[in-house]
Amino acid sequence: MSRKAITGLVAAMAVALTACTGNTAQPPAGSGQGGAKVANDEPGEKVVIGFSAPAADHGWMAAITNAAKAEAGKYSDVELRVVEGTNDVNLQISQVETFINDKVDAIVLLPFDGAALTPVALKAMKAGIPVINVDREFDSPFAARSTVLGDNYGMGVSAGTYICEKLKGKTGAVVAEIAGIDSLPLTQDRSKGFADALSECGLKVNNRVAAEFTVESGEKAAANLLQAAPKLDAVWNHDDDQGVGVSAAIKNAGRSEFFLVGGAGSANVMREIKADNGLHKATVVYPSTQGADGIRLARLAVQGKALGDLVEVEIPREIQLYAPVVTKDNVDRYLPAAFES
């Protein structure tokens, strides 16, 4: 199958999976669609993949890039070209244009701004280079061969549902939210899911502030929240990286009357949950495997293969990862894959 052929868009197919890295060297037992069988991890034609992501200015983003590098290193038929992470939209556009000019076989792109990177992603697709969009969506469905997404709305629902269960029967409970970058659709989706879940049990967001996914911004936002809210019962913080600052602000304020739910799933928060000696009682996972998943999908797309655990003969158009809640009861399952803040 030619590279141009595999970049053609197939019918929309959204698959909700806990991970998209379930390929093994053994062909699936299922049949259908001609009984196609694949051995995805066996070496095939060489695939040159260009990878670009925002600057690793917090633990989750660093984990995205590191996981992508590690995944590419597992395959003798993959050459990964990683450019320096940047939060400069124009520079990231230039990086992708360089990949196009170099005629790489595929591009895995976590855009700093999905809308701003859409035109250059479209350019790559039109040049016959399949683009795997990671985490932050493009404005056009034609800008990517496949998209790997975390479940941002689902994160909010998971956090809100957990808080509802913990505060069950407590009248007048005060719930607060420390969001991420408010201008990003992913933050808006998380907040909507959180509010929707709380409303199901008669609660609401009483106090809300926004940070910027950094330690410094988390501390500042949390300090403002604590000043505005003399009493709290529960707080959901969207991001465990900014949560380092959130925890510092709480300690400085001497507050301990509420419990915390984190977001993303950092190792330091999970260790606190496991020890059960702090305010963190749960965190909602936002997988840092998305870059690695993108590498696998790019390789499969270029080689004309499919996911090993699906009957479909090509990779899906979209994969949305699950947002589980981690508590002391299941933390040992998730801690080995957690990132360090």
Domain 152-286+326-337 falls under CATH 3.40.50.2300: yes
Q: How confident is the model at residue 19 (pLDDT cuts 50, 70, 90)?
A: very low
- What is the rounded average pLDDT of the residues 46-57? 95
Sequence spans of domains, the chain: 19-149+289-320, 152-286+326-337
Beta strands in 100-233 (DSSP E): 106-109, 131-134, 146-149, 175-179, 205-210
- What is the rounded average pLDDT of the residues 149-167? 97
Instruction: Return the sign of the alpha-carbon dihedral for residues 19, 20, 24, 26.
Output: positive
| Superfamily classification of domain 19-149+289-320 | Response regulator (3.40.50.2300)
Q: What is the pLDDT of residue 257?
A: 97
Q: What is the pLDDT of residues 192-228, one digit of tens each?
A: 999 999 999 999 999 999 999 999 999 999 999 999 9
- What is the rounded average pLDDT of the residues 34-41? 56
Instruction: Show the CA angle centred on residue 119, arms to residues 113 and 120, nearest 5°.
Output: 85
Beta carbons of 109 and 131 less than 8 angstroms apart: yes
Q: What is the pLDDT of residue 76?
A: 97
**CB burial readout 230-264, b (16+ within 10 A) else e:** eebbbbbbbbbbbbbbbbbbbeeeebeebbbbbbb
Q: What is the pLDDT of residue 184?
A: 87
Q: What is the pLDDT of residue 300?
A: 96
pTM to 2 decimals? 0.82
Fold agreement between 19-149+289-320 and 152-286+326-337: yes
**Max Cα separation, the chain?**
65
Q: What is the pLDDT of residue 35?
A: 39
At 328 the three-state DSSP class reads coil
Q: What is the pLDDT of residues 92-117, one digit of tens each?
A: 999 999 999 999 999 999 999 999 99
- What is the rounded average pLDDT of the residues 246-252? 98
Name the percent of the chain in helix, strand, coil, to the closest 5: 40, 20, 40
Q: What are 228's two structure tokens?
A: 């505005």
DSSP 74: T
